[in-house]
Amino acid sequence: MDFIQFIFLIFFYIPLYVAIDIDPSKTLVWGPGLNPQKVVMRARYFFLQLRDYQERNITKSPGKNIVFASIKGRNKNNQACRIWAQTLDCDDGSFIVRYRVYETCYNFEMSVRVKDLVLTSASKSEKGPIYEEECNCPHPSLESWMTNYECPESYSQIEEDLKIFPEVDFDKIRADLIKTYHKPHSYSFCHYVIKNNKIYRKCYGQHVGFNIFSDSILLSLSRKVHLPDSEFFMNLGDWPLVPKNNQLYPIFSWCGSDDTNDIVLPTYDLTESSLENMGRVMLDVLSVQGNIKTPWEKKIEKVFWRGRDSRRERLDLIDIARENPELFNVSITNFFFFKNEMEKYGPGERHISFFDFFKYKYQLNIDGTVAAYRQPYLLAGDSLVFKQTSKYYEFFYHHLIPHEHYVPVNHNLSDLVEKVKWAKANDDIARKIAKNGRELIRQVALPRDVLCYYVSLLKEWSQRMISDIKVLDGMEPVGQPNHVCDCHSDEVVKPSLSSKTEL
């Protein structure tokens, strides 16, 4: 190397590496995308956490060209398999690698390099088949599927929701339930039966278009695993439907509330983005982590909020912001419920990408008609989340601890200004809470967790059925999309050695 090159190296490269002391060999690696043969998703994903020589987590982006992922395979015609891979820099020393396979792959080779080191923990070579999402090759055993996906043993929310339904005899309640809720102007719902891993349904109400979300998750799951036979009712609206003091009917809903007994499922929004990330949706809990480019120190110290006028407190927020312009940048984007107050609370600001919300240090979650379904995406970002206290909840809210994962504010927002001032004065704590929020989402609300939650609920539910599960008059089959895929029969679980000896 000549002298000029040497000087160049000292001044340009060395500072880059010295500034952040990454020890590639200490990198932590985890996630379901490391087992592509066992775990099928539209986008498989895993995480990397960079660490230094003393095994301390790196907490900043190390800059470009540090992490490289190479993922390839062959299709059944022995051509290069069509795979789309992304490496998302989460700007906090961690990375997400995710990849979509468009066709069944064999001789799959994955390797991840950090600086000059190829990580053995993230290097895989698998014979295959590595199925694409559309493959209808259900795993025969629910239990071993759940083990493959590393689903939790149980969910306290599911236990809580189902404890009032120790057994369910639909022959006794089916007709009454339908009669009670068949009010086309008020409610929309579908009656589902899963029989021999096929989906059947009959829908009631005026707005049944949302069954696209329940259909697509059920179809996706039934392609992955043989679902237990069961029967259930799925509420297609936002509002939970079963008041606590009324006749107790079991109804699955996307949102729960303290004064209803609905059985809660992940929201249609989170369900869709979990199934369709690297597909039809741009915003999902993974992409939001990889698309924030404003580090904490550079964030604007204001509350940023955009949304519709779907609740009075959203208008109150505008009043509060006008009195405290140094703390807020908020705006109602659409008027529908309070059109007559548009003059006072408008005009709305122009549309801004959700990723740009995180140029601001503080985010706010105020209920819409029910829980605001943006909560998982807000928490997955790297700003501090303030949340209005509310009776509405989503399937994962019971994990949320106030002051640990978010800062609670009164339902009437009376302490909002005070809480924001507190956060400004306690920046280190605010930053820690923001980090904990993201960490929690990584533990409980990623695509894998959504799949696990549905399967776990269907499993628990099916065990409570005492009526015969049969396809009822007027139900139509919900068919799988046309897609050709070779399922391999060696997938079938073989009896283990110990059970063989019993034979």
Q: Which residues bind ligand NAG (CB under 6 A)?
A: 28, 49, 57, 329, 349, 352, 410, 412, 414
Q: How far is the CB of 60 from ligand NAG (least distance, A)?
A: 13
Closest of 205, 321, 360, 219 to residue 276, by C-alpha: 219
Rounded (10°) CA dihedral 164, 172, 214, 370? -50
Q: What's the CA gap between 120 and 472, in Å, rounded? A: 53
Phi, psi of 332 (to 5 degrees): -85, 125
If the CB atoms of residues 57 and 206 are measured against ligand NAG, the closer one turns out to be 57
Smallest gap from Cβ 445 to ligand NAG, in A, equals 15
Strand order of the β-sheet with 407-409 is 328-334, 300-308, 360-365, 384-388, 407-409
* 185 CB neighbour count, 10 Å cutoff: 8
Select 137 or 352, whichever has its Cβ closest to ligand NAG.
Answer: 352
Length, in residues, of the chain: 503
Question: Residue 234 or residue 321: which is nearer to ligand NAG going by CB?
Answer: 321
Q: Is there a contact between 31 and 121 (Cβ–Cβ < 8 Å)? A: no
Tokens 């698309």 appear where? Answer: 291
Q: What are phi and psi of 51, to 5 degrees?
A: -135, 165
For 138-158, give the DSSP string: -BS-HHHHHHHTT--S--HHH
- Looking at beta carbons only, is 352 or 471 nearer to ligand NAG? 352
Q: Token pair of 284, please?
A: 């999902």
Min CB(203)–ligand NAG separation in Å: 40
Q: Of 341 and 356, which has the nearer Cβ to ligand NAG?
A: 356
Min CB(418)–ligand NAG separation in Å: 12
User: To the nearest whole angstrom, how small is the minimum distance from the Cβ of residue 147 to ligand NAG?
Assistant: 22
Q: Nearest distance from residue 92's CB to ligand NAG, in Å?
A: 9
CA distance linking residue 283 with residue 274, whole number of Å: 10
CA distance 39 to 130: 9
- Minimum gap (Å) between residue 326 Cβ and ligand NAG: 10
> Nearer to ligand NAG by C-beta: 131 or 393?
393
Nearest to 232 by CA among 195, 266, 185: 195
Coil, strand or helix: which one is 360? strand
Residue with smaller CB distance to ligand NAG, 191 or 302: 302
Residue (57 or 463) nearer to ligand NAG, CB: 57
Least separation, in Å, of the C-beta of 104 and ligand NAG?
Answer: 32
What distance in Å separates the CA atoms of residue 312 and residue 68, rounded to the nearest whole number? 48
